[in-house]
Amino acid sequence: MDEDDAALALHALGWILSDEPRAERLLGTTGLDPDSLRTSLGDRATLAAILSFLTAYEADLVACAEALDLKPEALAAAARRLEGSRRMDA
CA distances from 85 to 6, 77, 82 (A): 11, 12, 5
3-state secondary structure 18-32: CCHHHHHHHHHHHCC
**Tell me: the pLDDT tens digits for 29-76?**
999 999 999 999 999 999 999 999 999 999 999 999 999 999 999 999
CB 46 within 8 A of CB 40: yes
Residue-level pLDDT at 3:
86
Residue-level pLDDT at 85:
58
